Structure 1
Amino acid sequence: QNETIPHVGCAEMLRDREPAHLKLVGASYAANNSESIGSYSYEPALGETAAKCSNGRAGGYPCKNVDLLSMLDLRELNSALNRVSDDANDVWGWTDSLSGREFAIIGLERGTAFVEITNPTRPIYLGALRTRGNGSSSGRLWRDIKTYDRYAYIVSEIEGHGIQIFNMGRLLTASPNTSFGQNGHFSNFGSAHNLFINEDTGYAYGVGTDKCAGGLYFVNLKNNPTNPSGNGCYSADGYTHDVQCVVYKGPTSNYFGKEICFASNEDSITIIDVSDKRSPTLIKKFRYAHSYTHQGWLTDDHKYFIFDDELDEYRKRWNTRTYVLDVRKLWDP
């Protein structure tokens, strides 16, 4: 028997025969299903969808030492777009430096949603920015967001999407459920799988784009954040899935202070000196068998690169694991 419930988490509770939390399922559902509503001692003063982690569950979701503070489902996140996406695909955040107010930025198939989470038990859905390009194309499954200063930069694998630019300061005075327009657009490339921004240098790096063999695409944000300029690319090692670029402060002294990128290139970790955007140079390409390097991050001392592989469980038939690459010698990881 199919039952209409406000949040997908409730379905898990019903399957497990656990009592639903009144503040999660809502008054209407509770009135019609009184037998499934339990009595809880945990009653957050403000939360409407909050649930304490108890016996490995919080509002129907598996948990361990983490309480559920709030939840918005896809229907709610898409309400300003007038069409519900089947999936969400990324999340990022921005904090206003003056007021301290916090906002979540959620990638959807057909746009980008904005939610104020200053009070995490009372999230406020402020609205969404509609995607560029054909929101029904297969590329809609991938969208990525990063921020620089007061702006959000949004890419997607939708053909012709480019980078949408949105002034996050608008959210400080926005009314709920607003359909927003963009504040700028970068069109030097169309589709992109991902985006990284080095806030120390003011450069964005498009990866997996439809230009430069899918390698790093350099975008200068610092001179004009709403009208950025393209400053070249690195295509010598082909497709890049994700990247981290830093002003290097590690032990390899001859690269100290230079801008170095650590790229997850499916079959390798590729280390590139991008200090001169007109002439980026390969430092080293690290490869290993049966690889699909997905993403990674440097330790704060720039001595180790922590990364994950997307397909090692399938290809090597072992449990999920995290890899640690010693990059104390950039030329010999």
Structure 2
Amino acid sequence: MLKKLLRETVLLSALLMIMLPGFVRGQGSANVPLRAHVNMYPASGYNDCWGYTAPDGREYALLGVRTGTSIIDITDTNNPTEVTFISGNSSSWRDIKTYQHYAYVVNESGGGMQIIDLSGLPGSAALAATYSGFNTSHNIYIDVPNAMLYAEGSFQEPVRALSLANPLAPVQVSYFGIECHDVYARNNIVYVSEGGSGSLGVFNLTNAAAPSLVVRIPVPASGYVHNAWLSDDGKYLMSTEETTGKTIKLWDIQNLNNAFIADSYLAPGGLAHNTHVKGDYAYISHYVDGLRIVDVSDPNNIFEAGYYDTYPQPGNGYNGAWGAFPFFNSGKVLISDMQTGLYVVYFDGAAMQDPDIAVIPLFHNYGDVQTCATASKTFQVINTGTANLEVAAAVTIGPNADEFSVTGGGAPFTVPPAQSHDLVVTFAPTASGTKMATLSIFSNDPDENPYEVGLAGNAIGEAEILGDVDENFLANSTDGLIVLSYDAGLPIPQPILDRINAGIGDVDASGATNSTDALIILSFDAGLTVPFPVGQPFCP
């Protein structure tokens, strides 16, 4: 019902816009709000984009620029920040994919394949290696679970299959197929968009050293067969043809030997570039039509569910949206526009099936906790949404973050809708005073990422070693004494009692000097090494 209403709303909006005086193609957006726009290299121009989520949950856009790769932190869409720029050969074409904490970058002008180490983020990223087994490549794809990278050469070359068993030193294991423009792979099955040959080649690389053709699917009245992407359930394949007037086709491939077109789509500008499928939607970079989002939940009746136009000027052709990336757990979607850079958007239609994080309590004060002791609190992470909540990281930040830590139920974890997950956070102060920190929870909630919980506590009873003295507080005697100060009225700190019970020394708390401080005196045989550092907090 919701999807039917969404479809009717989009169609009505489009009809009203067409009826308006002076309407031109590609105005505004529908169901796709803008969250950030970055245009740092307007004189250079842009090409493709990809996304990367770091182990701490922070999200990055990897943006292809004519002169290199821009790595942009988009975790906070109110403040997108370029972390670094990795220079490369000047090229109108640049393609980027990730494996583990590496980004692999190719281009059409030479220099081999750059391998960028992302493990230093959020502080930095650096070029770690360059693969020189080929000089140029137009597109690459990585079958992550199988550690295989597939590289297309220069339009009319076959496909190279490279093992990433050593991510910094890829090894070519085979070279297969005919003309190739782009490639997609899953579970060792490779789908090749065969460009001017007008077909989709499907290959089995279970034995990567000996690829075998499964089937070649001819595209009827084909244009230039440009790219293809598999549905989540593997039953459908969506393909694009980079030829004006040629539709985006959704193929039913449940029987590969009898694949057929279930339905098709084309935006008003008439020229599609790349498609990516996630869940019930295809996210299409559609040149002058910007990003187009198509509902494919009913493969026999697909329809446009939303769009964001990055190129509102009149006209058509090879301008506007080059690439898209819809795979962040947070729901962010990237668009790379050839003229105006990076756009970060959300799709409101997908929000019908979004997680929604809540945490109880939202703030906790641990109260008075004795130095060297601990206090714990259990927080409930609740999913009030309609899709799984994927929590990638839960960390403490702030001025006293090192005295608060997650000690139970730590990330990563998944919370189904209407369920909860317990996180235990422990306060373990090491010095006296008021302490504050923030528990930051990184998840795929599209609206609150990170979700922040306030933490506070008051550390008391710090024991400090004053010195090694005798019973007359003289330095030279047959017996040594260690004097520690702590707040009066408190129990003797447990770490001191533990040492006394172990026979290390005896204790006398009678040496109180005033109403706010007391002394604990431990006696030791003279000449022994003092087991506690003088002048430092006593926290063994």
* TM-score where L is the length of structure 1: 0.65
Equivalent in 112, 116, 120 of residue 69 of structure 2: 112
Tell me which amino acid in the other structure corresponds to 2:233. Answer: D
CA distance in 2: counterparts of 1:218 and 1:75, whole angstroms: 33
CA distance in 2: counterparts of 1:280 and 1:153, whole angstroms: 23
Q: CA deviation at 1:130?
A: 0.6
Q: Which residue of 2 is the match for residue 148 of structure 1?
A: 99
CA distance in 2: counterparts of 1:228 and 1:119, whole angstroms: 34
1:227 corresponds to 2:169 = yes
Equivalent in 120, 124, 129 of residue 81 of structure 2: 124
CA distance in 2: counterparts of 1:69 and 1:199, whole angstroms: 29
Q: How does 1:151-300 map to 2 (within 5 A)?
A: 151-159=102-110, 161-174=111-124, 181-209=126-154, 214-221=157-164, 223-235=165-177, 237=178, 239-247=179-187, 259-266=188-195, 267-287=198-218, 288-300=220-232
Q: CA deviation at 1:73?
A: 1.0
- Asked if the contact 1:268/1:291 (under 8 Å) is kept, the reply is no
Tell me which amino acid in the other structure corresponds to 1:165. Answer: I
Q: Secondary structure at the match of 2:186?
A: strand
- Asked if the contact 1:101/1:118 (under 8 Å) is kept, the reply is yes
Q: Secondary structure at the match of 1:204?
A: strand
Tell me which amino acid in the other structure corresponds to 2:83. Answer: L
Runs (4+) off by over 4 Å: none
Q: Percent identity?
A: 29
CA distance in 2: counterparts of 1:157 and 1:125, whole angstroms: 24
Of Structure 1 and Structure 2, the greater strand share is in: 2
Q: Secondary structure at the match of 1:200?
A: helix
Q: Secondary structure at the match of 1:245?
A: strand
CA distance in 2: counterparts of 1:89 and 1:312, whole angstroms: 20
Tell me which amino acid in the other structure corresponds to 2:201. Answer: T
Q: Secondary structure at the match of 2:166?
A: coil
CA distance in 2: counterparts of 1:65 and 1:215, whole angstroms: 40
Q: Which residue of 2 is the match for residue 92 of structure 1?
A: 50
Which deviations, in whole Å up to 9, do the C-alpha atoms of 1:250-303 show, x marking residues without a partner?
A: xxxxxxxxx211111111011111222222111111112233111111112211
Q: CA deviation at 1:164?
A: 0.2
Q: CA deviation at 1:66?
A: 2.7
- Asked if the contact 1:290/1:312 (under 8 Å) is kept, the reply is no
Of Structure 1 and Structure 2, the greater helix share is in: 1
Q: Secondary structure at the match of 1:261?
A: strand
CA distance in 2: counterparts of 1:127 and 1:193, whole angstroms: 23
Residues 209/229 of structure 1: CA separation in 2 closer, same or farther (3 Å cut): farther
- RMSD between aligned alpha carbons? 2.0
Q: CA deviation at 1:70?
A: 2.0
Q: CA deviation at 1:71?
A: 1.6
CA distance in 2: counterparts of 1:169 and 1:302, whole angstroms: 32
Q: Which residue of 2 is the match for residue 322 of structure 1?
A: 248
Q: CA deviation at 1:75?
A: 2.9
Which deviations, in whole Å up to 9, do the C-alpha atoms of 1:110-157 show, x marking residues without a partner?
A: 1000110110111011120010x4x2xxxx000000000100000000
CA distance in 2: counterparts of 1:147 and 1:226, whole angstroms: 12
Q: CA deviation at 1:65?
A: 2.8
Structure number with greater Rg is 2
- Asked if the contact 2:118/2:126 (under 8 Å) is kept, the reply is no
Structure 2: unaligned runs, 5 residues or longer:
1-25, 260-540
Structure 1: unaligned runs, 5 residues or longer:
1-59, 77-83, 175-179, 248-258, 314-319
Q: Secondary structure at the match of 1:331?
A: helix
- Asked if the contact 2:222/2:241 (under 8 Å) is kept, the reply is no
CA distance in 2: counterparts of 1:330 and 1:203, whole angstroms: 23
Count of residues in Structure 1 that have an aligned counterpart in Structure 2: 231
CA distance in 2: counterparts of 1:303 and 1:61, whole angstroms: 34
CA distance in 2: counterparts of 1:75 and 1:187, whole angstroms: 28
Q: Secondary structure at the match of 2:146?
A: coil
* TM-score where L is the length of structure 2: 0.41
**Structure having greater relative contact order (Cα 8 Å, sep ≥ 6):** 2
Tell me which amino acid in the other structure corresponds to 1:200. Answer: P
Tell me which amino acid in the other structure corresponds to 1:219. Answer: L
